[in-house]
């Protein structure tokens, strides 16, 4: 197993969140891109404003590294039209994968037709442009029953609206890594939540994001059935080093 091909090396903090200058933040993004190229990771996950930066570095190095970005991040409350507009801009800049934050608050309000339409329309935009699409459900904001329901909703939307050959291009993803829990409980992937997602997403693939902090955790997630792992510590995990980062 080449664990590096499961790892999406991730840096999604803004300069403000990191309490640093924009110049310093760009340096971190550049270093993360360069590391991902040299280490041979599957994908670099960055904010939309850095897609062009990554594209240039990848082209110059003749790398196969993929570029992913987040859409409507981290709240997921924008309209379907706003989500699609943001995704279309990312596509024009050369992104390979679109990670949409689902409107989980609308889902919790039982506005299911709205959420279903959003999943279908945003997925259609991605697939029609030959992009992989992932739906971040934000498990820390949901109870187990809701995790099952929203995962099944995404699966059913995809099965009813797209071809079987496209199923492996639409992921259900666990977390943004930015949700603030009330009681200090984990805000990223947990084994129990991932099991529920895998059971209810099939035949769609699942991505575990946040909370995977060791090689052993990553292997256990892969053995459960996840196809991708999002982490800000990809190199440490690949080298079997423990990390204390928050994503």
Q: Which residues are identified as catalytic?
A: 99, 173, 207
Q: Write out the two tokens for 184.
A: 């200090």
- Alpha-carbon gap, residue 212 to 39, rounded angstroms: 18
| Residue found by looking up tokens 């903090």 in the block | 13
Q: Write out the two tokens for 196.
A: 């529920």
Asked if 33 and 54 touch (Cβ cutoff 8 Å), the reply is: yes
């Amino acid at each position: 197993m080449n664990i590096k091909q499961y790892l999406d090396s991730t840096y999604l903090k803004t300069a403000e969140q990191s309490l640093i200058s924009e110049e310093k933040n760009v340096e971190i993004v550049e270093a993360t891109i360069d590391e991902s190229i040299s280490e041979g990771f599957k994908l670099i996950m960055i904010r939309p404003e850095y897609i062009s930066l990554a594209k240039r570095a990848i082209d110059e190095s003749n790398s196969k590294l993929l570029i992913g970005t987040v859409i409507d991040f981290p709240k997921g409350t924008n309209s379907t039209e706003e989500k699609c507009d943001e995704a279309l801009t990312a596509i024009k800049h050369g992104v390979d994968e679109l990670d949409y934050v689902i409107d989980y608050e609308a889902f919790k309000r039982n506005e299911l037709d709205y959420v279903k339409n959003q999943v279908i329309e945003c997925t259609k935009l991605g697939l029609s442009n030959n992009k992989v699409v992932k739906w971040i459900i934000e498990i820390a904001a949901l109870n187990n029953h809701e995790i099952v329901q929203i995962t099944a909703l995404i699966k059913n939307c995809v099965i009813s609206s797209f071809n079987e050959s496209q199923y492996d291009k639409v992921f259900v993803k666990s977390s943004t890594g930015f949700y603030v829990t009330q009681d200090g409980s984990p805000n990223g992937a947990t084994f129990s939540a991932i099991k529920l997602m895998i059971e209810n997403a099939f035949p769609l693939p699942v991505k575990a994001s946040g909370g995977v902090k060791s090689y052993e955790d990553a292997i256990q997630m892969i053995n459960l059935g996840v196809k991708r792992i999002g982490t800000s510590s990809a190199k440490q995990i690949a080298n079997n080093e423990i990390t204390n980062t928050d994503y």
